[in-house]
Amino acid sequence: MSEGNEKTAAATLNRNGIAIDDTFAEAFGMSGTGVIITADTAKWARQSAVTMTGFGTSVIGCGAECGIDYEVAPENTPDGRPGVRVLVFGFAPNMVEDQLKNRVGQCVLTSPGSACFNGLESSKRISLSGGPRFFGDGWQTARKLGDTRYWRVPVMDGEFVIEDKAGVTTDAVGGGNFLVIGKDRGGVLETCELAVAAIADVPDVITPFPGGIVRSGSKVGSKYGAPASTNEAFCPVLRGAVDSELGPDDKCVLEIVIDGLTSQAVGAAMRAGLKAVLEAGPQRGVTRVSAGNYGGNLGQHHYHLKDYLP
Amino acid sequence: MSALKLKLRTAPSQRLDLSPLVPGKLAGLSTAEIERISIYAGPEGLTVGDCFSVSGTSGGALHIEGGSDKLDKVGAEHAGGEIIVDGDVGHYAGRRMKTGRLDIRGDAGECLASNLRGGIVIVTGSAGTHLGGPLAGEKDGLAGGTVVVMGGAGKLAGERMRRGTIVVKGRMGRNAGARMMGGTIVGEQGLSAGAGVQMRRGTLIGPSLEAPSATFVDCGTHDLLILTIMAAYWRKILGDLAPPAIALAPRRLMGDMSSLGKGEILLTEG
């Protein structure tokens, strides 16, 4: 979620009639993992993944940022069934591990016919089965094949199979972003939907907010003591009352936030998303693209919009 | 890949301990140095050169031409690379092997792959008793790795096994998986009487079981996802030697209820 915007941003570029601010998205180093959820059908694999990634928009409020990366064909899953790869991001590996324990335990273990496997090869590993396997209450059994240990947990529709460990990376990036600004709310939303669809084709990234889109960009802090509050500079209804970042015709700002397992993946997603916006935006009332940052002092990763234009 | 060849000069009259002859221990040695290696052979002190003609270069595969049931501890504590034996081997072949591959193109004696830790052992003939088992006083039998015996196996295969896989394509002897604590034993022609006696955990798989014990309970027939995962793993590491895929939901017998009771015998013909 963007929290503020560099006030000095200036629109120096223009593509297809859309102004592009000379600014950058400021993103943070995070830890991330991937798991593959399988089920008897693609429908149930996806259902389980959707449930597991629910309430996973912001690491501050939800404990983790989660999303579906891509669907996995049966021939590429450990058990030969349809699968979905889910990514989970947190501040540190132990935080990701705690989230896995709860999310897999409550949302995957409980889902009919599901199984759960490691979805990220890495030398660093965290427990995947650490919570769910104890649901077996002593009836769980382990099976080690090569270097991989699987747990079999008896459940009411058979057995829940879960891999013991999942890979984790500390090179992940959270908070890549760009803002889509326009004079028509429906058109801006439609444009963002197309951008999210384009980003979905990029592996190793997720867009964790609802449908991949954020309508509530925030700034750091609040008069009430909350860690974040509305970013009034980008609220169209406050344009006359605050030091606004918006022009007289701007009616809507939506943000797309990107988390990725690597900085390269986030960059590729930024490029794919911006391309979609610049192609689809002009006929949908999009007038400007910007990005959220904190002045460059907080996040280790800066994605300058001009470097990711098509 | 270069190979070191050891050709048996004559059939040995006494048992030979070949545990010094694994690729890791021979790496970097010249032919002359290898010929001077002592082989324990009872009261009579022998060297490699007394028993084998040595050729080729060390550091890669080891090829033993000419087998004998008196060649003991072939591939013992083998830790990488490949050992091929053209013929029979004696007892304790592959004992405590860690990684790599041991390919025995003949029969193996007792305690094949005893306390195996990893790697793959293939026997084209049959194996004697205590396949993968512990030696007297040892806690664990097979503790990892994979053993495939194309022929039959003697009694007590997989005794006190903890991890890994044993596949016997021929007839399985009595009491396979006795006191087993984990891992998988597949008897492709069926399991003999006493299979899984006193087992705590682990899995025995076969089309049928001779004289089922009353201390195993019938849990019915079930599709078990783990079998798909195991089959894929075996196909990956064994290729055509992998056990055939299980087409029908196997019958699950849990036991041994006179012990911990968390093991299972899966009968693939229902």
pLDDT of residue A10: 58
A232 touches chain B (CB under 8 A): no
Tokens of A300: 């280790």
- Tell me which chain B residue has its CA closest to the CA of residue A150: B226
What's the CATH fold of domain A31-169?
A: Alpha-Beta Plaits (3.30.70)
- The count of CB pairs under 8 A between chains A and B is 40
Q: How many CB atoms neighbour CB A63 within 10 A?
A: 19
pLDDT of residue A1: 42
Cα-Cα-Cα-Cα dihedral sign, residues A294, A300, A301, A304: positive
**First-last CA distance in chain B:** 46
pLDDT of residue B166: 98
Q: How confident is the model at residue A25 (pLDDT cuts 50, 70, 90)?
A: very high
User: So where are chain B's domains?
Assistant: 107-267
Whether residue A142 and residue B182 make contact (CB cut-off 8 A), yes or no, is yes
- Report the mean per-residue pLDDT for chain A: 94
Query: Which residue in the set B144, B223, B226 is minimally distant from A143, CB to CB?
Result: B226
> What b/e string do you get for A258-269 counting C-beta neighbours within 10 Å, with b at 16 or more?
bbbbebebbbbb
Chain B interface, best mutation among A117, A145, A164, by max B CB count within 10 A: A145
Tens of pLDDT along A150-167?
999 999 999 999 999 999
Q: Which CATH number fits domain A11-28+170-308: 3.40.50.11890, 3.40.50.300, 3.40.50.10800, 3.30.70.520?
A: 3.30.70.520
Cα dihedral A215, A219, A220, A221 in deg (nearest 10) = -90
Whether residue B229 and residue A144 make contact (CB cut-off 8 A), yes or no, is no
Q: Which residue has the tokens 């993944």?
A: A49
Interface of A with B in 147-186 (CB under 8 A): 150, 152, 158-159, 161
Report residue A65 CA to chain centroid gap: 6
Q: How would you classify residue B17: left for phi > 0, otherwise alpha for psi between -120 and 50, otherwise beta?
A: beta
Report residue B252 CA to chain centroid gap: 25
B260 touches chain A (CB under 8 A): no
Whether residue B203 and residue A143 make contact (CB cut-off 8 A), yes or no, is yes
A4 residue type, one letter: G
The nearest CA of chain B is from the CA of A276 a distance in Å of: 40
Strand B79-86 and strand B61-65: the pairing is parallel
- Tell me which chain A residue has its CA closest to the CA of residue B201: A141
SS3 content of chain B, % helix, strand, coil (to 5): 10, 35, 55
Whether residue B226 and residue A158 make contact (CB cut-off 8 A), yes or no, is no
CATH 3.30.70.520 domain position(s) in chain A: 11-28+170-308, 31-169
Low-confidence residues of chain B: pLDDT under 50: none
> Which residues from chain B sit within 8 angstroms of residue A141, using beta carbons?
201, 262
Whether residue A79 and residue B232 make contact (CB cut-off 8 A), yes or no, is yes
Residue A3 has pLDDT above 60, yes or no: no
The nearest CA of chain A is from the CA of B153 a distance in Å of: 23
pLDDT of residue A12: 72
Q: Which ipTM did the prediction report?
A: 0.92
